[in-house]
A = this chain, B = another copy of it.
Amino acid sequence: MKELDLSSLAQYSGKKVLVTGGLGMIGSFAATEAVKYGAVVTILDNSLPEHGANIFNIDSVISKIKLIEGDIRDYDTVVEAVKGQDVIFHCAAHVSYTDSMKNPYLDLEINARGHLNVLEACRHFNTDAKLVFTSSRMRYGNVQSIPVKETQPTAPLMIYGAHKLLGEKYNEIYFRNYRIKYVNLVVPNPYGPRQQMMHHKYGLVNWFIRVAMEGGEISIFGDGEQVRDYIFVEDISNAILLAGIKDEAEATTMNLGNGAGTSLKTMVDTVVNTVGSGTVKHVEWPDNYFNIETGDYVADISKASLLGYAPNVSFAEGVKRTFDFYKENRRLYW
């Protein structure tokens, strides 16, 4: 395993960086880190209700960034935000895959049309910008074998995954036709501080931390042996910054991951033991669960490691830091 190498991030000094969805968990970490390395950061975020935006997420840098309250679905807004930027972290998204099935049109508007708006704005007003796109492991659907390489077939099970995959294809097409540089980062199961905690539709680790903090009962489906690649938000943020600045990554798709899988059972035990409250209950699989069950998932991250990426936060450490954050800031998240 290679070591994390962030030395190249010094190049962000003076760089103009746009973060779409910069008030959400992943976007706000990327924005905050970019500021730390001297970037001139603009955030575009619409604060859509029930989504991930929380102004407190950028509390530590709010005086140093420019915040555009606007929607990626509005082309003119996107054009104004994109002009003059050196790097764009495109993190804005409709995130819930269950909601993407309830209302595929909203997912289409945000994750397809909104993404097209970013690329069309680059095509017409800023072909020099480099785009870093947070795609999702949902692009794969059922995987054939683990660890998963980027070349495995892409067969999304949900509209959300189909549109994330479409976003990757858009990036490939705009590079081929207009030379707009991009990196598609395939994010597995993210968790960490700053995620919205109002509902459970964004990720189970955070949700279970909330349930445990409230002394509730956590349900485990089946034997709890199903494996996921839980990635701490700071590791994602490191990868985004590396992808945005490394010339080696000009037009490519790469997996992110924690370097190892964690079973559901271990995940839940870690949460309950870290929080010090909450109980665990084993239940049968729900009938319709096969629709979203993708089988075990662990990413092969050898491609991303060429950028200097390496997971830096163990799962136990990440859960601890997430819990510490919400213990301190709970009232701001639910």
Contact = CB atoms under 8 A, between A and B. Distances in A.
A113 B120 contact: no
B170 A157 contact: no
B291 A177 contact: yes
Contact of A155 (B101, B120, B172, B177): B172
A272 interface: no
Which bracket fits the contact residues of A? 20 to 34
Contact of A166 (B105, B157, B166, B173): B166
Given A105-B116, A108-B112, A291 B169 contact: no
Most B CB contacts (10 A, CB to CB) among A162, A173, A176 go to A173
Given A157-B176, A173-B157, A291-B177, A108 B113 contact: yes
Nearest to A156: B169
A169 B120 CA distance: 24
A172 B173 CA distance: 23
A154 B154 contact: yes
A291 B162 contact: no
A319 interface: no
Interface in A157-213: 157-159, 162-163, 165-166, 169-170, 172-173, 176-177
A70 interface: no
Given A169-B165, A291-B177, A116 B108 contact: yes
Nearest to A290: B176
Nearest to A159: B173
A162 B158 contact: no
B169 A162 contact: yes
Contacts of A155: 169, 172
A104 interface: yes
B154 A173 contact: no
A139 B108 CA distance: 19
Nearest to A157: B176
A112 B169 CA distance: 14
Contacts of A104: 116, 120
Contacts of A151: 153
A2 B157 CA distance: 34
Contacts of A105: 113, 116
Nearest to A100: B173
B177 A101 contact: yes
27 contacts: A101-B177, A105-B113, A105-B116, A108-B108, A108-B112, A108-B113, A108-B116, A112-B112, A112-B166, A151-B153, A154-B154, A155-B169, A156-B169, A156-B172, A156-B173, A157-B173, A157-B176, A157-B177, A158-B173, A158-B177, A159-B170, A159-B173, A162-B166, A163-B166, A165-B169, A166-B166, A176-B291
Given A101-B177, A157-B176, 19 more contacts: A105-B116, A108-B108, A108-B112, A108-B113, A112-B112, A112-B166, A151-B153, A155-B169, A156-B169, A156-B172, A157-B173, A157-B177, A158-B173, A159-B173, A162-B166, A165-B169, A166-B166, A176-B291, A177-B291
